Structure 1
Amino acid sequence: MAKTTSSTIDEDSLLTSHEVGLLLQVDPSSVNKWVKAARLRAYRTPGGHLRIRAGDLLTFLRQHNMMVPKDLSKVGMRRLLVVDDSEFELRSIERLLKPYAHRVELLLVSRGIDALVQFGFFNPHAVLLDVIMPGLDGIEVCRRLKALEATRSVPVVITSAHLTVEMEHQALAAGAAQCVDKPIGIARLLAILQIDEQESSILTAQTIV
């Protein structure tokens, strides 16, 4: 069987014992022993074959302080698209999330049109969108994202340093999940990305080069 590559593995990918062995450079029998000892979570197909979810494998490796293969390094990563015409705001969010670089992948853009262009390439789990920007403002960008079936399921969070009731009503009507005042704290950012702050702070994975 060909070696599984990072481009084909996501959090919910199901791997065989052989594939896990190739990734970790161990004998598949060791993988089966971990499963039998209930150290590594696994599932059985109707035919009785073991399948291991990539996300569960990553959790197992981190819990046991084992090296994370390069092909698994981005499994479980949360992608955040941040759109703001203020360089200061973009860099502030970048600094806040730097300690969580093992869990969060950032794309920072300064124009609404760039957000629409880059969205399909980046495929974010959430969008943090400033309201007042030159050209397309945040409300219009949100409206366009929600108009397309391929992008409407991704939560959009509208931000502003001067959030008003009217602005909030417009954002929610455009499909925003919520509106948040600036400055945004790390706890709110992690909540938007659905990352457990306590768990993430202790899971510092190493990567095999």
Structure 2
Amino acid sequence: MRRKSLSTGDLARYCQVTPATIVNWIRAGKLDVYTTPGGQYRMELPKFIAFLEDNEFPIPEELQADRTRKILIVDDEEEILDLLVEVVEGSDANYIVRSEKNGYDALIAIGDFKPDIVSIDLNMPKMDGAELVRRLRSNPETKNAKILIVTGMIPTSDLVRKVKRIGVDSFMQKPIDIDEYAKALDKLATFKV
């Protein structure tokens, strides 16, 4: 079973720095650690992964294996939204899923949910998918989220071209093949940050 916390030596090895550098980062408040009764520093694994992501370090494969991925699904069509949520919840992968019916509510949800992957319909009320993608990519906290576009629009439409220019990681055409949708999510979940 994998450890839930890491020593300064572990932290140094994963960051490819010296243990002295880790201690300096701890003293500077850059690493959120606790001290054992013996005076040794330890860092909880989820906090360390968040530190790596925030500082754009690559996340080692061995630390990603059991990592829970958060997926936000945004679609204004309730039947499709329910279907996509069901696909994620039925997956064997370690996912937490949340859903929203429009881009505006999705932005609010992103603030506290902090998804790793966002599945977005392009044609929605209040805020279309292109604007949501633009805002995700322009925010330092969400710029690295993986984005899967799911749309009924034809791939040559202006909106689709605009979104592709902004930067999405995957694109699917409706009607949705649920097996392909699950594969696309699994592929995005294994991308290195």
Fold equivalence (TM over 0.5): yes
Residue 193 of structure 1, aligned match among 182, 189, 192 = 189
Q: Give the structure 2 partner of residue 181 of structure 1.
A: 173
AA aligned to 1:191 is K
Q: State whether residues 158 and 176 of structure 1, in contact with CA within 8 Å, keep that contact through their aligned partners in structure 2.
A: yes
TM-score, length-scaled by structure 1: 0.56
Structure 2: give runs of 5+ residues left out of the alignment: 8-17, 21-39, 47-65
Q: How many Å apart are 1:168 and its aligned residue? A: 3.0
Deviation at 1:102, TM superposition (A): 6.0
Alpha-carbon distance, 1:175 to partner: 2.5
Matched, 1:92 2:88: no
| Correspondent of 1:156 among 121, 141, 147 | 147
Partners of 1:102 and 1:144 in 2: CA distance: 28
Q: Percent identity?
A: 24
The residue type equivalent to 1:121 in the other structure is D
How far residue 111 of structure 1 moved from its aligned partner, in angstroms, is 1.0
Aligned ranges for residues 1-209 of structure 1 at < 5 Å? 14-15=5-6, 54=45, 76-100=67-91, 103-166=94-157, 167-182=159-174, 183-184=176-177, 185=180, 186-194=182-190
Contact 1:171 1:179 in 2 (8 A): no
Which protein has the larger Cα radius of gyration, Structure 1 or Structure 2? 1
Could you say what the CA RMSD is over the residues aligned between the two structures, in angstroms? 3.1
Shift of 1:112: 0.6
CA shift in 2, pair 1:173/1:97, >3 Å: same
1:8-53 per-position Cα deviation (integer Å, ceiling 9, x unaligned): xxx996336xxxxxxxxxxxxxxxxxxxxxxxxxxxx959x8x898
**Number of equivalenced pairs:** 137
Separation in 2, partners of 1:106, 1:13: 23
Report the AA paired with residue 169 of structure 1: R
Deviations 1:63-89 (A, max 9, x none): xxxxxxxxxxxx611100100001111
Looking at structure 2, the residues matched to 12 and 165 of structure 1 have their Cα atoms a distance apart, in angstroms, of 49
The structure showing larger relative contact order (alpha-carbon pairs under 8 Å, at least 6 residues apart) is: 1
Structure-1 separation of matches of 2:82 and 2:165: 29
TM-score normalised by L of structure 2: 0.60
Which secondary structure does the structure 2 equivalent of 1:119 belong to?
helix
Show structure 1 runs of 4+ deviating over 3 A: 11-16, 51-55
Give per-residue Cα distances to partners, 1:168-202, cap 9 Å, x unaligned: 3211122222321120432222222229xxxxxxx
